[in-house]
Each structure stands twice: as C-alpha cells, then as structure tokens.
Amino acid sequence: MPISSTYIIGVDIGGTNLVVGAMPADGSREIGVHTLPTLAKLGADGVIDRICAMIETTIATTIRETGATRAQFAGVGIGSPGPLDREKGLVIITPNLGWTNFPLRDRVSDQVGLAASLDNDANCATLAEWWLGAAKGGRNVVGFTLGTGIGGGLILDGKLYHGASDVAGEIGHMTIDSTGRRCGCGNYGCLEAYASGPAIAERAREALAGGEPSLLNELCGGDLTKLTAAIVYRASKDGDALASEVVRETARFLGTGVANMLNVFNPDVVVLAGGVAQAGDSLFVPLRAEVKKRAFKPAVDACRIVPGALGGSAGMVGAVAAFLAEHPVA
Amino acid sequence: MPISSTYIIGVDIGGTNLVVGAMPADGSREIGVHTLPTLAKLGADGVIDRICAMIETTIATTIRETGATRAQFAGVGIGSPGPLDREKGLVIITPNLGWTNFPLRDRVSDQVGLAASLDNDANCATLAEWWLGAAKGGRNVVGFTLGTGIGGGLILDGKLYHGASDVAGEIGHMTIDSTGRRCGCGNYGCLEAYASGPAIAERAREALAGGEPSLLNELCGGDLTKLTAAIVYRASKDGDALASEVVRETARFLGTGVANMLNVFNPDVVVLAGGVAQAGDSLFVPLRAEVKKRAFKPAVDACRIVPGALGGSAGMVGAVAAFLAEHPVA
C-alpha cells in the first residue's frame, strides 16, 4: 500500500444514475465505486448533496483500503450531460436534470474542499476507452456512446477535442437522412432518431405492426411499451427473424454514421460504447460491412471499429482522466 | 526590395489547370502567378516537366520583380488531388490524372533542386483561407471546396488536421441521405451527389424535364448538356423561378452538410470556397437558415459561415502555407 500515491475521484452524472469512484493517477485500479439513483426531482441542491456524500463515502473507502490520507486526493473529475462551459465549470442546460447555467464544478469543489474539473459525459466515456479500454493506443479516436441518446467524443492527435464552444462531438445529431425521422433535438434524420435505444425499440414496434409472429411479443410480456433495444438484441441472438432485421437495419444506420466519421475524420479507432457493446457480432459484423461499403478504402484500412471495454464505469474512469488532463499530477 | 526575404513557390495541381506562383514567407504578396492547362494526357512525366517549367518561370519573374537571388527560394509547396501519403510524398491515386503511387513530391524536388512538400488540394485551399482569407483568426475551421467534386479541410486547435492516413476532410462523401442518389465514389447519398457543380446542373436538368419555362434553356443555348452550376446561379440572380428553386435546394443540401460539421466539430468558421463563393446571398441566406434549423444553438452561435475570399489562387497560396507549416523559415 504505497502511501505516496495520488488519488482522483471520478463522478459520472446521468439522468438516471450517479456513479462515483476513485482511482490512483496511474489508472491501475478502481476503488469505492458505487451507484445511486440521481433523483433529479430533488433539484440541483439535493443532487449536489447526494454527489458530495458519495464522494465522501468513496474517500473513506479508499483511505480504508489503501491507507491513503485525505491529502493524497488531488481532486474530483466530473462528467455531466451538456452543453457545458468548461472554463467556467457551468452546465448550460440539461433537459433531464432541469439545470440551467448551473455552476456544477465549483459547487462540488467548494463543498468537498478539493479541486474539480467538468467535462461532457460522452467525452469522458471516450477518454476512458482511450486511456484504459478498447481504444488504447489510438491517436485519433471517435467514440460513440449509445443509450437513451447518442453522444460522442473526439480524441485528436492524442488530445480530447472540445471545439469552439465545448459542444464538439454531437455525433448523434449528424443528419444521415435529410428528410427522415424527426429527432428529439428538432432536426430531421439525425443518427440518434434511428439508432438510440428508444429509436431501436420504436422501429421494432413498427415492424411488429404487420402482425408477423416474433419472440419480441412474449419477451416484453405482451406489452410493447416495455420493448427495449436490449430485448431486441436478445431476440435476435435467439434467432428471431424480425428482431434480426431490426438489428441489421440498426447496423446499417450506425454504419452510415461511422462511415461519415471515417471519411471526415480518418480515425485509427472508432469505439462504440453503451448497451450496444453487448450486441456482439450480430451488430458489429453487418456494421463493419456497411462502413466498408460507404467509406474510402484508405480510411477503412486505417481504422478498427470496436465495442467499448469498460462498461458502466467508463464515465467515472473518463472523468478521472479528464481531471488528470487538466491538472497533471506528479 | 528587401533582399533578406525568403520566397516559397506554390503549385496547385488540378485535373484541368495548373496554377504556380511565389510568395514571401510572410504571405504579403503573390508574385509570378500563372495558369496553364494540366494536359493530363501528357502522362506523369509530361506533367512534371510542365510544372517544373512553370516553377522556373515563377522564379525568374520573382527574381526580376524583387531582386531576390535563387538562394532565397526555400522550397516548393505542392497541392494535389488525393488520396496522398504525405510522409512519403506520394500521390496514391488520382482518377483525373491517372497517377498511382506516384512520387510527386520528390520528382519535383529533384528536378528543380529545392525542398518540397505535398498536401491535399482541399487542405491547401482551407489553409489559405485561414492564413490570408475569409477564415482568418479562426482556431477551428472547416473548409468546403465546391467544384467538380466537393472536398474539404479541417483546421483543428490551430493546426491542419490530416487524420490517421492523410484522408481526413472528405466532407463531400458524408452521407446526408442514406438511401439517396448514387455518388461517383460508389456510395449513396453523399453530399457531393447533390451539391457539386455537375450535381447542381443535373438537378436543374431534372427540374426542366417538366416543361416549365425557364431562362436556363436560352442561357445554355438550348443545349442542356451545356448547363452548369454557374449558369444556374446566374439565372437565379436574374429572377428565374426554376433556377431559384434549384439554388434553394442546393442551400438545403449544403446546409445539412455544414450543420453536420457544426454538431461534430463545433468550428468557429466554416468557409465555402470554389465557384459557389460567387453565388452570394441567394445561396448563403437560405444555407445559414438551414444550418440554424439543424445544428445545436451553441454551435451555431459560435460559428460564422462565409464564402472564400481568395478565388482561384487559394490552392497555390495554401500550398505555400502547407510548405511553411512543414518547413518553418526564419
């Protein structure tokens, strides 16, 4: 138990859950990781109290497990849905949490008495996969985070890229069908409108409307409002023809989005994180084929397309990495 | 006439024309700029001879006009259609010129006895607009070059971005309609298939097929195969309803592509260079409106969308800038 190590706390703020944990600066382990419901209805002050209590729990666990002292904690990295103002540490707006121009970074920093950093949740997940996960060794990396929405992060020439006003990487809101499906953002034909979790479930419901028999009916107990992307992936693995077609369509939509990133950005790694990482070859094989059809050969040849490796702790790990990028420690 | 200045030659290789000129390292003026047909039919050796003769002409003109000596020429920047291998100085393939794995950089360098650099033509045009043109002062810049095809370049965090294998910036081959028009690249629904010069002319021909009266018929002398994007822009300026609709559609397609770049890269400047720069407000007003409809507000607020300012010499100027980026001079 080296008492000279420096520890950083990572905080991943989601619309549904908060994940908090600690890591030594070398990323060698995760300590005191725990998850609690966000309870956005508590309001910003209530959520801040929950986050700070979780940070104290993680610090206590880390001290107990490693023999560290409180002085060995360098700070707190926070990953949050955006858009953000990183320099000022503000959350500009998060529909799911109901925050507007909220000074998240400084509120947490003041309450726990530690330095803090703030970055976008999808940027953090991408950074985590690059630091310790499936995108390790890449120099130009595109991360897709697939869940309720589709987010993204860009590592450029070995550095997280934020753009002119910290909103770079909104890959889910790239138009792939300019006259296509309405997206929650107000635009038409965004990738997210086809390949987010809810969009996959919606397309499955549409496919079922013709009355074709499918395992999906029983897997959601006859209540199609309970259909999820995870259920669609499971039915596809069990050989259900209708679910398999929905998965293959998903692969084509995602493949179009990935191909766009290859042609524009020419990355060496594309990492797809989130629930989709569990879909396996039934998704990734047709997805890679779609990319090969649509993108330039030198871009295809230069790039590996991989599922995320870090699962649910990616956001927390990436928040630690983002803190370290802003506050290098010895 | 300061005899201590350093001069760089810029060479812009197009499928149709070669443009060669010289500039002092501070970019303060263009000297000895001249244009000749490429004559690709001469074969690679023939074109190299033409380029080197043009370089010698430019050197002679520069010496005559400035009193410089040959020792004051630091080298030659070359912009070429891609894909390229910059490190090796190779043109991997150019359908228009018929070159494959051609050592363009070293062939020119050896023949004129000067250092040389090689970069993509659209990268050069973007770099030029950033150095001396409409994108000056930007830190994150996306350049669209609109002509026979649609190319692009990315300046990210103040540096030209090349990607993992030098093919970054193929913005024209971003899919905006995944089941849409076949593109020359083999993919479907690429931006280039809607908004390149030939695609604009083709959409105008399709619109004319209904027999609606239009100035376009007389402007191309009754021969619709002679219709060009420039003619469509002119008829639109003259108030032709059919041509105006084609221009507005073009604005919507281009606006979709620009909005994608705003959501993904969050640039502070998007510069549209090439013939389209002359289209003026009839194109740029609806284009900016389309971007505003489709992109995130913080990305829209952070970005100005402007026509290129350098006209036909952008490629040559950018080739000089690319040389300077690789070979800084005192």
pLDDT of residue B330: 61
Q: What is the mean pLDDT of residues B81-95?
A: 90
Label residue B4 by pLDDT band (50, 70, 90): low
Distance from CA of B164 to the nearest CA of A (A): 5
Distance from CA of A177 to the nearest CA of B (A): 4
pLDDT of residue B3: 45
Of chain A, the percentage scoring pLDDT greater than 70 comes to 98
Residue of A nearest to B143 (CA): A264
Are the beta carbons of B287 and B300 closer than 8 angstroms?
no
Task: Name the average pLDDT for chain A.
Answer: 94
Of chain A, the percentage scoring pLDDT greater than 90 comes to 88
Residue found by looking up tokens 């699962």 in the block: A311
pLDDT of residue A25: 96
| pLDDT tens per residue across span B60-79 | 999 999 999 999 999 999 99
CA distance B44 to B54: 15
DSSP state of B211: -
- B164/A266 touch (CB, cutoff 8 Å), yes or no: yes
Name the burial class of residue B12, with classes exposed (0-12), middle (13-18) and buried (19+) by CB atoms within 10 angstroms of its CB. Answer: buried
CA distance A118 to A89: 6
In order of their start, the domains of chain B are 7-127+313-326 (3.30.420.40), 137-309 (3.30.420.40)
- Predicted model pTM: 0.93
A-chain residues near B261 (CB < 8 A):
264
| pLDDT tens per residue across span A219-275 | 999 999 999 999 999 999 999 999 999 999 999 999 999 999 999 999 999 999 988
CA distance B231 to A40: 57
Q: What is the mean pLDDT of residues B118-123?
A: 96
Distance from CA of B239 to the nearest CA of A (A): 27
pLDDT of residue A184: 86
- A264/B140 touch (CB, cutoff 8 Å), yes or no: no
CA distance A270 to A260: 12
| pLDDT tens per residue across span A161-198 | 999 999 999 999 999 999 999 998 889 999 999 999 99
Torsion angle, alpha carbons of B252, B255, B257, B259, to 10: -130
Label residue A330 by pLDDT band (50, 70, 90): low
B-chain residues near A298 (CB < 8 A):
83, 92, 165-167
Q: Above 60 in pLDDT, residue A144?
A: yes
Residue of A nearest to B188 (CA): A294
pLDDT of residue B94: 83
- Could you tell me the end-to-end alpha-carbon distance of chain A, in angstroms, rounded to an integer? 18
DSSP state of B289: H
pLDDT of residue A4: 58
pLDDT of residue A253: 97
Q: What is the mean pLDDT of residues A303-319?
A: 96
CA distance A188 to A175: 7
Are the beta carbons of B51 and B108 closer than 8 angstroms?
yes
Residue of B nearest to A182 (CA): B294
Distance from CA of B138 to the nearest CA of A (A): 9
| pLDDT tens per residue across span A34-49 | 999 999 899 999 999 9
| pLDDT tens per residue across span A208-218 | 999 999 999 99
Q: What is the mean pLDDT of residues B218-243?
A: 94
Are the beta carbons of B51 and B109 closer than 8 angstroms?
no
Q: What is the mean pLDDT of residues B113-136?
A: 97
Q: Above 90 in pLDDT, residue B37?
A: yes
Q: Above 90 in pLDDT, residue A97?
A: no
A-chain residues near B259 (CB < 8 A):
175, 187
- Among the partner-chain residues B92, B168, B256, the one whose CB lies closest to the CB of A264 is B168
Q: Would you state the structure tokens that stand for residue A44, as one six-digit string?
A: 């910003």
Of chain B, the percentage scoring pLDDT greater than 70 comes to 98
CA distance B74 to B60: 15
CA distance A321 to B210: 60
pLDDT of residue B2: 44
Determine the residue among A191, A266, A301 to mutate to test chain B binding: the one whose Cβ has the most chain B Cβ atoms within 10 Å: A266
B-chain residues near A301 (CB < 8 A):
165
Residue of B nearest to A303 (CA): B164
- A265/B175 touch (CB, cutoff 8 Å), yes or no: no
Q: Going by C-beta distance under 8 Å and a sequence separation of 6 or more, which residues neighbour residue A225?
A: none
A-chain residues near B253 (CB < 8 A):
178
Q: What is the mean pLDDT of residues B307-311?
A: 94
| pLDDT tens per residue across span B139-188 | 999 999 998 889 999 999 999 999 999 999 999 999 999 999 999 888 99
CA distance B44 to B172: 27
